[in-house]
Structure 1
Amino acid sequence: MPRADATRNRTQLLEVATRVFASADTEPSMRTIAREAGVGIATLYRHFPTRESLVDAVYRDQVARLTDGARELLAQLPPPAALRRWMDLFGDWIATKNGMLDTLLAMIESGEIAHAQTRTELLAAIGEFLNAGRATAELRTDVTAEDIAANLIGIFTVAHPPEHNARASRLLNILMDGLQPPKP
């Protein structure tokens, strides 16, 4: 079992790396991430021996947050409100890829990260919202998880956070309006 300080350092490194990756225009150095986390470079490399291992950990952490977040949001909010909040989390996930895109793409191409598995997990999360919203008659029945995923990719391609948060929010609200069932 890892020591408490080691667990704390790893958690802090993941949180800081996520934030640094999201705000970076290019891939930040490992030294930058260690400095921002307030730890030495050796501590970073002890937890994440390569850039790829750090990117993999951040990526998997973010996917887990999205999939777990779907269930948590549905337990707290009505399906449409939960889905809309989850869309914001999805935008945060997209933004995190800013500073790790080259490494991430290389890892997907080499098969180190199973893109198809991530897609399946995210579509299942969206499906949970749709099923819950259909059960309460608050979301349309003719929309698929793939439809919503395609819309989200389009929205965050043209309104990439964080610099276009207002535009992304407006477009997400328009999408949510379109997901409401027709009025009788």
Structure 2
Amino acid sequence: MRADARANRDRLLVVAGAVLAEQGVDASMRDIARKAEVGLATLLRHFPTRESLLEALLRTSFDELTARAAEVETTGSPQQALTGWLRDFVAFTTHHNGVVTSMVKAIEEPESALHASCVALRAAGARLLTRAQDADVARTDVDGADIFALVSAFAWLGDQPGHEARAKRLFDVVLGAVLTDRAV
């Protein structure tokens, strides 16, 4: 890729990240191009669909969350690892307004550009949960898909105007129900 094309792509990703954080995943592609000071054709040449743009933006973050799970899996207590990682995951999803809908769709659609990253993310959470279950600090009737669904629910609630504080409080309540040792 030429240097100027690479610079345009990088600028598009930075601007798109800021616009999507502010306006949500339904932000106008034209608005993203305008704020990046490139034409819409340039945006579409790099990212022909909204999903391809989301995939480029989110894949890195999803991969970082997956790597974070692997890191905390071997450090600290199983309960601390699961709790801390879930907090990071919920914080990420609520920071990116509307991303939860894309995640839920992608996990069910193998042809989605985000599918592999979402599956890896769910598997990472499942490993942390299994570790906590093996240590007898988490309920055994909960699985990785349940954890992914809970994160999705908290992200959705956190996206609702005026419910951020409630989402944080309910996260602690629900986490207390998942963990057998109630100290979260």
Q: Name the amino acid aligned to 1:98.
A: G
**Partners in 1 of 2:33 and 2:127 — Cα distance?**
37
Question: Which residue of structure 1 lines up, in the alignment, with residue 126 of structure 2?
Answer: 127
Question: Which residue of structure 2 lines up, in the alignment, with residue 30 of structure 1?
Answer: 29
User: Measured at CA, do residues 119 and 165 of structure 1 come closer, stay the same or move farther in structure 2, by a change above 3 Å?
Assistant: same
Using the TM superposition, give the Cα deviation of residue 24 of structure 1 relative to its aligned residue in structure 2, in angstroms.
0.9
Identify which range, 161-170 or 142-151, moves more after superposition: 161-170
Question: Which residue of structure 1 lines up, in the alignment, with residue 38 of structure 2?
Answer: 40
Alignment of 1:159-174 (within 5 A): 159-160=158-159, 164-174=163-173
**Partners in 1 of 2:149 and 2:165 — Cα distance?**
20
Kindly indicate whether the alpha-carbon contact (under 8 Å) linking 1:67 and 1:121 is maintained by their aligned counterparts in 2: yes
Question: Which residue of structure 2 lines up, in the alignment, with residue 21 of structure 1?
Answer: 20
Using the TM superposition, give the Cα deviation of residue 97 of structure 1 relative to its aligned residue in structure 2, in angstroms.
5.4
Q: Report percent identity of matched pairs.
A: 35
Matched, 1:157 2:164: no
Q: Name the amino acid aligned to 1:178.
A: A
Alignment of 1:71-90 (within 5 A): 71-75=70-74, 77-90=76-89
TM-score normalised to the size of structure 2?
Answer: 0.67
Kindly indicate whether the alpha-carbon contact (under 8 Å) linking 1:79 and 1:133 is maintained by their aligned counterparts in 2: yes
User: Measured at CA, do residues 171 and 125 of structure 1 come closer, stay the same or move farther in structure 2, by a change above 3 Å?
Assistant: same
Question: Which residue of structure 1 lines up, in the alignment, with residue 139 of structure 2?
Answer: 140
**Partners in 2 of 1:54 and 1:32 — Cα distance?**
14
Q: Name the amino acid aligned to 2:77.
A: P
**Partners in 1 of 2:177 and 2:93 — Cα distance?**
23
| Structure 1 segments unaligned to the other structure (5+ residues) | none
Using the TM superposition, give the Cα deviation of residue 129 of structure 1 relative to its aligned residue in structure 2, in angstroms.
0.8
**Per-residue Cα deviation, 1:67-110 (whole angstroms, up to 9, x for no partner):** 223223435543333323333343323653528969x96x9999
Aligned-pair RMSD on alpha carbons?
4.0
SS, match of residue 170 in structure 1? helix
Paired residues in the alignment total 179
Q: Name the amino acid aligned to 2:66.
A: T
| Structure 2 segments unaligned to the other structure (5+ residues) | none
User: Measured at CA, do residues 82 and 169 of structure 1 come closer, stay the same or move farther in structure 2, by a change above 3 Å?
Assistant: farther
User: Measured at CA, do residues 96 and 82 of structure 1 come closer, stay the same or move farther in structure 2, by a change above 3 Å?
Assistant: same
Bigger relative CO (Cα 8 Å, ≥ 6 apart): 1
**Per-residue Cα deviation, 1:137-182 (whole angstroms, up to 9, x for no partner):** 4333342222323333333333426753322211111122122225
